[in-house]
């Protein structure tokens, strides 16, 4: 039995911007988009069995103020949002969020002291701080692994909602 394969279409910057502009004008999304937010995912809707030919765009947004994730389905041809859902899912960090977290980490005095003018060679991921740290669980966090060489490490915990480094750890073992 032969499997059908579909070419995955990559959205151009123009189509991404157009889909986001459509979302910004939707009355259901205006309250979310008026606060501190970021679109972290803008991709083609790869499979809609009801409309196999549709070229809808999925936009995943993070509301930093209220600690929630929202998904919008945009129909660029009709220039409208066809669906909005809040989700319990936590989207992976966008490239922009990674850059923000790394920039904040590299400006932190503890990190500057550790790096001693060496390159940080960062690796950045989404992070869920343990309750014992006192971090606000509704906030969005990143962990920046600082790796100036093969043997030294520090781990900067960044609160993306507040734009602040909240901890710099020498070990991930508590």
Distance separating alpha carbons of residues 94 and 125, to the nearest angstrom: 10
What is the model's pLDDT at position 38? Answer: 84
Closest CA to 105 of 83, 127, 78: 127
pLDDT tens profile 126-161: 999 888 777 777 889 999 999 999 999 999 999 999
Let me know: does 38 contact 94? Beta carbons within 8 Å.
Answer: yes
What are the structural domains of the chain? Answer: 13-87 (3.10.450), 95-169 (3.10.450.40)
pLDDT tens profile 34-62: 667 888 889 888 766 666 566 889 999 99
Let me know: does 59 contact 74? Beta carbons within 8 Å.
Answer: yes
pLDDT above 70 (res 4): no
Distance separating alpha carbons of residues 171 and 134, to the nearest angstrom: 18
pTM of the model: 0.80
Q: Write the DSSP string, 101-134.
A: HHHHHHHSHHHHHHHTT-----EEEEE---GGG-
Tokens of 72: 């919008």
pLDDT tens profile 55-87: 889 999 998 877 888 999 999 989 999 999 998
How far apart, in Å, do the first and last CA atoms of the chain sit? 52
Q: Which residue has the higher pLDDT, 14 or 34?
A: 14
Output 89-95 pairs: Cβ under 8 A, ≥24 positions apart: 90/126, 90/128, 90/140, 91/40, 91/41, 91/60, 91/62, 91/126, 92/40, 92/126, 93/40, 93/124, 93/125, 93/126, 93/142, 94/38, 94/39, 94/40, 94/41
Closest CA to 97 of 130, 51, 64: 64
């Amino acid at each position: 039995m032969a499997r059908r394969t579909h070419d995955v279409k990559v959205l151009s910057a123009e189509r991404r911007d157009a889909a986001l502009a459509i979302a910004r004008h939707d009355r259901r999304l205006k309250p979310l988009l008026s606060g501190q937010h970021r679109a972290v995912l803008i991709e083609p809707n790869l499979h809609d069995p009801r409309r196999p030919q549709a070229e809808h765009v999925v936009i995943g947004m993070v509301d930093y103020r209220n600690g929630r994730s929202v998904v919008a389905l945009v129909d660029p041809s009709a220039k409208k949002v066809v669906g909005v859902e809040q989700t319990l899912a936590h989207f992976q960090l966008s490239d922009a969020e990674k850059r923000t977290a790394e920039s904040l980490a590299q400006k932190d005095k503890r990190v500057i002291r550790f790096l001693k003018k060496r390159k940080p060679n960062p690796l950045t991921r989404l992070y869920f701080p343990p309750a014992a740290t006192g971090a606000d669980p509704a906030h969005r966090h990143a962990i920046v692994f600082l790796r100036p060489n093969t043997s030294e490490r520090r781990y900067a915990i960044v609160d993306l909602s507040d734009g602040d480094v909240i901890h710099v750890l020498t070990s991930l073992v508590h």
